[in-house]
């Protein structure tokens, strides 16, 4: 038996910034959500979305800084003694491939992958 709704039910607007099942500890989810609410109440950004959590590939709320990680370039690229090191570093960064996650996972909701 298959049941579907047409049109799909949308999340109510008052809950659009709430967290859902998370990969984080409950206290972090609560404090991050409280921070988001305080931010929106205090600054009232126009047409700007500020989030503390994103969905990972498993569909769980994950703290955004967990997706950030440094990538160390090869030593030959950024030799500080070389006068063209800055240009080589910029070239190295420009070669890092980037494909938007929404293009990789077209059938899934907005989610973020780490490096």
- Residue extents of the structural domains in the chain: 16-104
**pLDDT per position as a tens digit, 21-54:** 677 888 898 898 899 889 888 888 888 888 888 8
Q: Note whether 112 and 69 are within 8 A (CB).
A: no
**What is the model's pLDDT at position 85?**
82
> What is the pLDDT, as a whole number, of residue 35?
92
Could you tell me which residue, 7 or 115, shows the higher pLDDT? Answer: 7
Cα–Cα distance measured from residue 61 to residue 69, given in angstroms and rounded to the nearest whole number: 18
Residues pairing with 54 in the sheet: 62
User: Of 60, 56, 88, 62, nearest to 75 (Cα)?
Assistant: 88
Residue 62 sits at the vertex; the CA angle it makes with 59 and 68, to the nearest 5 degrees, is 120
For the entire predicted model, the pTM comes to 0.53
Q: How far apart are the first and last CA of the chain?
A: 40
pLDDT for position 10:
62
**Mean of per-residue pLDDT scores for the chain:** 76
User: What digits encode the pLDDT tens for the residues 7-20?
Assistant: 666 655 555 555 55
pLDDT digits (tens, 9 = 90+) for 52-98: 888 777 778 888 888 888 877 777 777 777 788 888 888 888 887 77
Q: Coil, strand or helix: which one is 90? A: helix
Q: Which two tokens stand for residue 43?
A: 């600054």
């Amino acid at each position: 038996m298959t049941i579907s709704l047409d049109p799909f039910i949308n999340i109510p607007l008052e809950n659009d910034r709430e967290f859902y099942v998370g990969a984080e500890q409950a206290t972090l989810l609560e404090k991050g959500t409280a921070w988001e609410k305080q931010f929106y109440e205090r600054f009232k950004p126009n047409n700007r979305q500020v989030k503390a959590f994103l969905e990972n590939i498993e569909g769980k709320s994950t703290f955004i800084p967990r997706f950030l990680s440094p990538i160390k370039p090869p030593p030959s690229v950024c030799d500080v003694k070389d006068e063209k090191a800055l240009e080589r570093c910029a070239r190295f960064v420009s070669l890092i491939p980037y494909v938007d996650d929404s293009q990789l996972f077209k059938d899934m909701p907005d989610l973020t992958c780490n490096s």
